[in-house]
Amino acid sequence: MTRYLGTSVKRVEDPRFLRGLGKYVANLTLPNMAYAAVKRSPLAHAKIRGIDTTRAKALDGVIAVFTGEDLLEGTGGFKCGSLPCGFQVPNLNMPPHNPLAVDKVRHVGDGIAVVVAESPYIAEDALDLIEVDLDPLPAVVDARGAMADGAPLVHDSAEQNLAFHWPLGDEEAVNEALSKSDHVVELEFINQRLIANAMEPRAAAAEWDPATESLTVWTTSQNPHTIRLLLGAFTLGIPEHKIRVISPDVGGGFGSKIFHYPEEVIVPFAARAVGRPVKWVATRSESYVTDAQGRDHVTKAKLGVNNDGTMTALHVTTWANMGAYLSTFGPLIPTALYITLFSGVYKTPVIFGEAYGTFTHTVPVDAYRGAGRPEASYLVETMVDLAARKLGMDPVELRRKNLIPTDAFPYQTPVALMYDSGNYQALFEKIEELSGYESLRKEQEAARAEGRLVGVGFASCIEASGPAPSAVAVGLGAAIGLFESGAIRVHPTGKVTVLTGSHSHGQGHETTFAQIVADQFGIDIADVDIVHGDTGRVQYGIGTYGSRSAAIGGSALVKSAEKIREKLKQIAAHQLEASVEDMVYDQDEGTISVAGSPDMVKTFAELAFASVLANNLPEGMEPGLEESSFYDPANFTFPASAHVAKVEIDPKTGEVDLQSYAAVDDVGNVINPMIVEGQILGGIVQGVGQALWENGIYDEDGQLLSGSMLSYAMPRADGFPSIALDRIETPSPHNPLGVKGAGEMGTIAATAAVSSAVLDALAPLGVRHLNMPLTAEKIHQAIAAAGNGGGE
Amino acid sequence: MYPREFDYVAPASLEEAFVALGDDAKVLAGGMSLIPLMKLRLLSPGLIVDIGRIPGLDSIEEADGHITIGALVRHADTASNPLVTANAAALAVAASMTGDVQVRNRGTTCGSAAHADIAADQPAALIACGATMVARSASGSREIAAAGFFVDTLTSALTPAEVLTAIKLPKAGPGEASAYDKLGRRGGHSDYAVAGAAAWVKKSNGMVEAARVALTGVGTKPMLLEGVGSALVGADGSDAAVAAASAHALDAVTVLEDLYGSEEYKGHLAKVFVARAMKKALAAV
């Protein structure tokens, strides 16, 4: 039998996806199903003076129309509650978030009423017949501007629109170190808003069974158990054990499908109220104004550096846009997933960071691939580049001077985190070789001599992946522990069903988790099935985000497999009349034999059957072969990366040509290299999207100007060169697989690397900084301001 | 993304299509522009006339000194057809830069023209290449010069009763060449044109004898830049002559500012791409 770990097993889920056999929420059709559509606010801020649903209700085929008031008042003793925030930082101001707006609307897209109809077409037609009398109010969209005197308030209960202030680090020590530094580089900049665009828009469906008084909800969620918990405890008030949440095949999430959304409340309410199954599927246009968005920071930073290149201190203040309501994990992102990352791969001795989370009349902001960590790496790497330029030092040389040494692990940063393992020097050696860094610099020199604008960008980044040890997570504000569950059920014939609390929505868990389990037992991967995404089948679990599944979900499976292997050894020892200590589990062959007597052997399948035949088991042993584990990690894992990008800018148009890209990542041990490379590549493309094209733009009235694929510039394949990938492996010492997170690393490094390259290209013109996205027009303006960029 | 209710017919012949067409009807060919507009409910025709099953409209042919592109010819075919690449290189290139692979395999050149988006690629190339648009209806057939076909934003010279059944391109003669270049909204050639220009030139004895230059993405419609063409005629086609001619790029253009470019930037890009298209065309002679 071959071992699977470390090999590029083809994804077992792909044949069904490629043949159109995936089963998504939108595919679900239940007998007598009705269809919902949501009437949404066209204004960012307005008082609701009245809602007239008479004409909509009169339309042929409309079954019911409900408003926010209807949901709060309820029907038959059943009513909806406010959507809670699941991450409570100290002194958090948490105004109510009704599933449909009551009294006021607070962002374009805020739900006002829901139509239930015989077809999605009729539901959509009825939306036009709902008359909403809105009294427009002034809006605020800017994270820092929201705190200004006289700014319109999003919630009357939140003065200055402040949701929270979260400081970390010794500010006094930082200020003192800055005052003693040879140089202090300062920068004020924007990390622009991004909008997630999963291939599959969100959807929700629900069916109420009056016989058992139980509810089934199908939803496009990355964490169905969390949704069930919140539905049971907060938003629907139906007992948790009477709710089943199913997240079937889900077409991508990138974070935006972690959160508990209003439609997951509205649709079950409607289903129960009309006594029929109800389904809602978002249009792409709806996704743009309802899915939680990403980033959106205004930041002021100061980095101290001495003449020899030593970084001395970092001081950062960030205003983080929370949008109109606190999304489920909103406050976590610019705090514990951002400020704690300010040390990067460097041994900066003192660091202070603080974040003001503010309400604005925009779509809520929450985790988006990388979630706080790309913002941190962009900040740190941008400041490091500025320091290098200030000193006239090669940016890689300056970085090397400040790297955390390999013998310093585990490394305690000044911002709370303890890095588990790493080898940043090896990472640097490999990326310099892979990218041909020195020759890129020579090419650049030659190009500059010809007056061409060529830039080389470098980013070396850290990620805290695999959130998180439950004690740490809850201590920081999480409302639940962040362990993961994994159960293994061995059937009488030796076939295996695995039940994981993780959720795969593109990551390939059905393959990687099967690799893990098959290797644990030495069986064929085809004999292992992975079940996920159904609270009716899978024990309580946490779900997939923060690059946590392999490290935590995978480790839970290893723990369960170890328990099963131990039981198998006991059965084998009993039947072979040997002592358990002498039993050897051969994970290559899937057999257990007596040490020194290879012919005294039992196969995995023989022992599985023996466990249910149950006539010849050790004294007191229970029949059957099924074990579960709840694995709580000892720490985050800390993947690291070094990426190099080369660009050339067309001086006449400002257009950026990304000419080469190389990435070396350290995600610890690799389970499936093909899948990891896919994750890194996809992450890079997404990260470059932020650097060059993507921008969620609100005008001053709170209208989303980039609210469609036409105006929001998602990356396309033709914008990319071939990307060179390589890796080093420093295993995580604290999980049994030695793995680290791989899902977000590409995004975390690529934005910084490409921004660095563009700014490097423009450096000879005296351009110090440009905010992302680095569009052709913005760059052309900078070139023109420097006295260049005339006609052809 | 659910359109309002509409009726649908799939006629077997153009004659049947002409009978069905009227003020509340829309012609469906590839559907790459029409269907999204309907799903967004920005457009809600009462009747869709699907010409996709009418035989004889999907070929590119040479006859009577013209290349004819039928109403159902896809962008991908326009981009790769040897008759088009040899006689109207600008159009082939513009078609290759239209949409993405899926759109190019489904959408049609005639459909793009009839849709008359202000930032579409192929209209500019059609104007520069001197194309003739063949519009047919129950009452007969008429030919419209491409330069006069694009009337305004999303408005062509077609009446609701007409189908753009074909586009005729003149065969390239000696000393003639054309080219198209643009900056796309996502950089490079990707997506709609922030600014795009097509140029057709005819050189003899080292001099530019005739030139037509068209611009897209910048003004209220794809349009012929007569000032640029006439400035190039009689010149030697040198870089200096090109630069002098491109200075006329905005003579008759009202620059439309949008999310992808300010008035100033788009005006600047117009000159840059007008010059680049002319240089490429001159180099290809």
What single-letter DSSP state applies at residue A621?
P
Backbone angles phi, psi at B220, to 5 degrees: -80, -5
Q: Provide the strand spans (E) within A110-258.
A: 111-117, 131-136, 162-169, 183-194, 203-209, 214-219, 243-246
Alpha helices in A149-219 (DSSP H): 171-180
Q: Which of A496, A507, A621, A629 is nearest to A562 (CA)?
A: A629
Q: Where are the domains of chain A?
A: 14-19+31-137+197-290, 294-467+635-785, 484-631
CB A699 within 8 A of CB B169: no
Give A517-561 pLDDT, tens digit per residue.
Answer: 999 999 999 999 999 999 999 999 999 999 999 999 999 999 999
User: Cβ–Cβ of B272/A792 closer than 8 Å?
Assistant: yes
In 3-state terms, what secondary structure has residue B108?
Answer: strand
Interface predicted TM-score (ipTM) of this complex, two decimals: 0.94
In 3-state terms, what secondary structure has residue A57?
Answer: helix
Tell me whether A718 touches chain B (CB under 8 Å).
Answer: yes
Give A693-733 pLDDT, tens digit per residue.
Answer: 999 999 999 999 999 998 999 999 888 999 999 999 999 99
> And the tokens for B188?
């490079």
The Cα–Cα gap between B8 and B4 comes to: 12
The Cα–Cα gap between A223 and A255 comes to: 10
Q: Right CATH number for A294-467+635-785 from 3.30.450.40, 3.20.20.70, 3.30.365.10, 3.30.43.10?
A: 3.30.365.10
Q: Residue A2's pLDDT is what? A: 63
CATH class of A484-631: alpha beta
CB A714 within 8 A of CB A689: yes
Kindly indicate the confidence band of residue A76, based on its pLDDT and cuts at 50, 70 and 90: confident
Q: Residue A78's pLDDT is what? A: 87
Sequential DSSP letters for A696-711 = --B-TT--BSS-STTT
pLDDT over 80 (residue A91): yes
Sequential DSSP letters for B173-215 = -TTEEEEEEEEETTSTT-SSEEEEEEEEEEEETTEEEEEEEEE
Kindly indicate the confidence band of residue A790, based on its pLDDT and cuts at 50, 70 and 90: low
Average pLDDT over residues A191-212: 97
Give A16-69 pLDDT, tens digit per residue.
Answer: 999 999 999 999 999 999 999 999 999 999 999 999 999 999 999 999 999 999
> And the tokens for A511?
């393959």
Tell me whether B42 touches chain A (CB under 8 Å).
Answer: no
> And the tokens for B43?
């457009």
User: Cβ–Cβ of B276/A713 closer than 8 Å?
Assistant: no
User: Cβ–Cβ of A693/B186 closer than 8 Å?
Assistant: yes
CB A340 within 8 A of CB A475: no
User: Cβ–Cβ of A285/B2 closer than 8 Å?
Assistant: no
The Cα–Cα gap between A526 and B270 comes to: 59
With residue A80 as reference, give the H or E element that holds it. Answer: none
The Cα–Cα gap between A44 and A59 comes to: 28
Find the CB nearest B1 among A283, A711, A791. A283
Whether A14-19+31-137+197-290 and A294-467+635-785 share one fold: the answer is no
CB A455 within 8 A of CB A760: yes
Alpha helices in A392-500 (DSSP H): 395-402, 424-435, 437-449, 470-476
Give A308-323 pLDDT, tens digit per residue.
Answer: 999 999 999 999 999 9
The Cα–Cα gap between B164 and B115 comes to: 11
Q: How far lies A732's CA from each of A168, A672, A673, in Å?
A: 26, 16, 17
> And the tokens for A665?
């990542």
Give A780's contacts in chain B (Cβ within 8 Å): 265, 268
b/e sequence A647-661, b meaning 16+ C-beta within 10 Å: bbbbbbbbbbebebb
Taking each helix axis as running N to C, give the angle between helix A745-762 and helix A776-785, from 0 to 180 degrees, rounded to the nearest 10. Answer: 30
Tell me whether A10 touches chain B (CB under 8 Å).
Answer: no
In 3-state terms, what secondary structure has residue A452?
Answer: coil
Q: Residue B259's pLDDT is what? A: 86
pLDDT over 70 (residue A1): no
Tell me whether A120 touches chain B (CB under 8 Å).
Answer: yes
Find the CB nearest A791 among B40, B190, B246. B246
Taking each helix axis as running N to C, give the angle between helix A509-521 and helix A555-576, from 0 to 180 degrees, rounded to the nearest 10. Answer: 30
What single-letter DSSP state applies at residue A161?
G
User: Cβ–Cβ of B187/A719 closer than 8 Å?
Assistant: yes
Mean pLDDT across chain A, nearest whole number? Answer: 96
Length of chain A: 792
User: Cβ–Cβ of B261/A656 closer than 8 Å?
Assistant: no
Size of interface A-B (CB pairs under 8 A): 76
CB A567 within 8 A of CB A546: no
Burial class (CB in 10 A: 0-12, 13-18, 19+), A75: middle
pLDDT tens track, chain B, 285 positions = 799 999 999 999 999 999 999 999 999 999 999 999 999 999 999 999 999 999 999 999 999 899 999 999 999 999 999 999 999 999 999 999 999 999 999 999 999 999 999 999 999 999 999 999 999 999 999 999 999 999 999 999 999 999 999 999 999 999 999 999 999 988 788 889 999 999 999 999 999 999 999 999 999 999 999 999 999 999 999 999 999 999 999 999 999 999 889 999 999 999 999 999 999 999 999
What single-letter DSSP state applies at residue B5?
P
B 77-136: CB under 8 A from A: 100
The Cα–Cα gap between A264 and A328 comes to: 13
Q: Residue B187's pLDDT is what? A: 79
Q: Residue A573's pLDDT is what? A: 97
Kindly indicate the confidence band of residue A213, based on its pLDDT and cuts at 50, 70 and 90: very high
Query: Tokens 């959106």 appear where?
Result: A296
Find the CB nearest A792 among B40, B194, B246. B246
Fold of A14-19+31-137+197-290: Aldehyde Oxidoreductase; domain 3 (3.90.1170)
Average pLDDT over residues A555-575: 98
Give A260-277 pLDDT, tens digit per residue.
Answer: 999 999 999 999 999 999
Sequential DSSP letters for A260-319 = --THHHHHHHHHHHHTS-EEEE--HHHHHHHS-BEEEEEEEEEEEE-TTS-EEEEEEEEE
Tell me whether B263 touches chain A (CB under 8 Å).
Answer: no
User: Cβ–Cβ of B2/A124 closer than 8 Å?
Assistant: yes
pLDDT over 70 (residue A129): yes
CB A777 within 8 A of CB A695: no
What single-letter DSSP state applies at residue A778?
H
| Domains observed in chain B | 7-47 (no CATH), 60-170 (3.30.465.10), 176-284 (3.30.390.50)
The Cα–Cα gap between A778 and A285 comes to: 27
Give B39's contacts in chain A (Cβ within 8 Å): 283
In 3-state terms, what secondary structure has residue A192?
Answer: strand
pLDDT over 70 (residue A791): no
Give A447-458 pLDDT, tens digit per residue.
Answer: 999 999 999 999
Kindly indicate the confidence band of residue A501, based on its pLDDT and cuts at 50, 70 and 90: very high
Share of chain A above pLDDT 90, in %: 97
> And the tokens for B75?
């962008």
Q: How far is B66 from chain A (nearest CA, A)?
A: 34
pLDDT over 80 (residue A788): no
User: Cβ–Cβ of B272/A121 closer than 8 Å?
Assistant: no
